[in-house]
Amino acid sequence: MARFRFDALSRLAWILTGLLGAAWIGFEDRGLAAVTPLAWMISISALLTARARRSRREPILRPADLRWWLLAGAAAGALAGPIEALLILLKVGLHAHPVPDFATADVVAVLGRIPIWTAAGALLGASAALIERAAGE
């Protein structure tokens, strides 16, 4: 039962990420308000996919321990910044306006937030561990 939930949740997360990405790529925006949630959705979708694959490998499904969730959440948070920078560079390259949608300072600001996003991801992972443990009981 739990295996199905993580597979389905992972698929739903990727579908929502794709829809958000399609909307964002055509959205003319000069701020980070739209690209940040997209980068987080990509990271969270990858985290859910990793958990779904981990549940497929285990012969007896048991909740993942807190350490796995903390590390996976921290990794997802740490990757949100570089993913966001890549998305910014992708959009600047695709939409070759005379004045770019994003400045170099935006990329530097995004990369400067990696420690904060890493901590936020670890907290998100800890909350996911508690939710998974509560659902398993």
Q: Would you say 52 and 100 are in contact if contact means Cβ atoms under 8 Å apart?
A: no
State the pLDDT at residue 14.
95
What's the structural domain count of the chain? Answer: 1
State the pLDDT at residue 119.
96
In tens, the pLDDT along 80-105 reads 999 999 998 888 887 777 777 788 89
Comparing 62 with 108, which gets the higher pLDDT?
108
State the pLDDT at residue 84.
94
- Give the domain extent around 28: 2-136
In tens, the pLDDT along 19-70 reads 999 998 887 777 888 899 999 999 999 988 988 887 777 655 566 688 888 9
